[in-house]
Amino acid sequence: MIVTPPAGDAFQFVVSLKTHPDAIFHAAMGIGLLLIRRRHSRSGTPRSDFRAWWALVILYLLAQVFLLVMPWIPPEGGIYAGTVSFLWCTYMIIGIGIMAICGIYYYLWMKVLPRWGNYSIRSQVISVDDNGANTHRLLRVPNFEVAQWDATHDDLGRDLPPQQVISSNNSSSEK
């Protein structure tokens, strides 16, 4: 990436390359927060101890939309009048291209390869210490073992206690 633009523009290009994908992720985070709030209010889930103000969430989301839209407007003086000596929107196009490549990679890794390899991807929760810290690990579970895996783990990938394990004849004891 650094070798692609002319030497004088390399630093500015690399710094600018980060801004558009960041704005996409931050806008997705703001939208996700609004969706989670809506889902919580519909399900009657109790309010959490920490809550961001609606006005700040909306303002944050509007700022991200501004950062996503404004760079596409050409600078005064034409398409080559930006802060670099080449097309002003090159960093946005390449940033979106990198995100598209990452999306294709994710789809291949999580959907296509498991279908071809006859396995499913499952998340497993691993306890790190006695203070409640944990981490997650993705596992390849062969398709013929998926029913057994799902019967002995909850949706998050935690091991179910023996009294909550779902029996194979679909008479679940307390999941």
The pLDDT value given to residue 17: 86
Predicted confidence band at 175 (pLDDT cuts at 50, 70, 90)?
A: very low
Can you give the length of the chain in residues? 175
Q: Please state, for a pLDDT cut of 90, what percent of the chain lies above it.
A: 41
> What DSSP string runs through 66-131?
HHHHGGGSPPTT-TT-SSSSS-TTHHHHHHHHHHHHHHHHHHIIIIIHHHHHTEEEEEEEEE-STT
The pLDDT value given to residue 14: 81
- Other residues' Cβ atoms within 10 Å of the Cβ of residue 157: 17
pLDDT in tens, 126-151: 888 888 788 889 999 999 999 998 88
Specify the pTM: 0.70
User: For the chain, what are the domain ranges?
Assistant: 7-113, 119-164
Q: How many helices (H) and strands (E) does the chain have?
A: 5, 2
The pLDDT value given to residue 174: 46
Token pair for residue 143? 């398709």
Mean pLDDT of 24-50: 86
pLDDT in tens, 100-114: 999 999 999 999 999
